[in-house]
Amino acid sequence: MDYIRVTSIDDPLFTQMHQLMQNIFPPEEVLEFDLWKEPLEDSGIRVFVAVHEGQVVGATEYRYYEDFNVAMTDFTIIGQAGLGIGPFLANKRAADLKALAEENGKELFGMFAEIYDPYRVDDYEFGGVKPMDPYVRREVLSHLGYRRLDFPYVHPSWNNDGEAVEGLDLSFLTLDPEVQAIDAKLVVKFLKRYYTVLPNKPKKWLDMIASIESKETIALKSF
């Protein structure tokens, strides 16, 4: 299996990846094909596909914020069961992020990830691929060391229609497992930076940000 970076919507691998996204994720979670042009060309956004026998069978997008010394896993897609795609992507991503942090003269502090709450989104089929099932993914993230940030989470719809997407938690992986809370300012700065690309922020999202700004720290809780 090959780990290949995609940097253009003209790359045939991106066409396969976008179709895979549409097969797996609900529509409000998938950015339109043409709107991927600038993100793919952004050196700070890293999109890689797992290619098996010429076909895209998985993908991951993530980014490293040098000034925050944290990363964000935008998504991980496992297109088939039984190929070891999940561990392959996770290991390749971890090695890449470790190198990026070292280039920044630091050891990575941690990584954010959004994760569906299976008790609120069990009607999503995720393409019928069992490794993408919310119950399975939540358990996998828990075993990797991710914990839920203790506040009610929503995010702006990627349709940029001003709607709030619910049914998810924002989680965080600390490389130091002894860390029990993170700075609320870090969470706010990260979320504002991450969703800059979507100008139509729903009121629920703005209220959530205001609530976090009133706190000093956000506790990390087990799923």
- Identify whether 26 is part of a domain: no
Residue 217 sits at the vertex; the CA angle it makes with 100 and 45, to the nearest 5 degrees, is: 25
SS3 21: helix
Record the tokens describing residue 42, joined without a space: 């952004």
- Of the listed ranges 50-54, 150-154, 155-159, the one predicted with least confidence: 155-159
Beta-strand pair 181-183/217-221: antiparallel
Cα dihedral 71, 181, 76, 169 sign: negative
How far is 157 from 164, CA to CA, in rounded Å?
6
Q: Phi first, then psi: what are they for 70, rounded to 5°? A: -135, 165
Beta-strand pair 168-174/110-116: antiparallel
70-129 pLDDT tens trace: 999 988 888 888 899 988 999 999 999 999 999 999 999 999 999 888 777 655 555 556
DSSP H/E element including 60: strand 55-65
pLDDT at 132: 63
Cα dihedral 54, 32, 84, 41 sign: positive
CA nearest neighbour of 121 among 135, 107, 108, 131? 135
Residue 103 identity: E
24 falls in which pLDDT band (50, 70, 90)? confident
What residues make up the domain containing 168? 61-221
pLDDT at 25: 81
- Identify whether 116 is part of a domain: yes
- Identify whether 138 is part of a domain: yes
The yes-or-no verdict on residue 23 having pLDDT over 60 is yes
Q: What residue spans of 6-60 are helical by DSSP H?
A: 12-24, 37-41
H helix count then E strand count, the chain: 6, 11
The yes-or-no verdict on residue 177 having pLDDT over 90 is no
Q: Which residue has the tokens 């956000």?
A: 218
- Identify whether 82 is part of a domain: yes
How far is 52 from 103, CA to CA, in rounded Å?
30
Number of domains in the chain: 1
SS3 73: strand
Sorted by sequence, the CB contacts under 8 Å of residue 39 that are 6+ apart come out as 31, 45, 47, 197
- Identify whether 88 is part of a domain: yes
- Identify whether 216 is part of a domain: yes
- Identify whether 25 is part of a domain: no
Express as a percent the part of the chain with pLDDT over 70. Answer: 93
- Identify whether 211 is part of a domain: yes
pLDDT at 30: 83
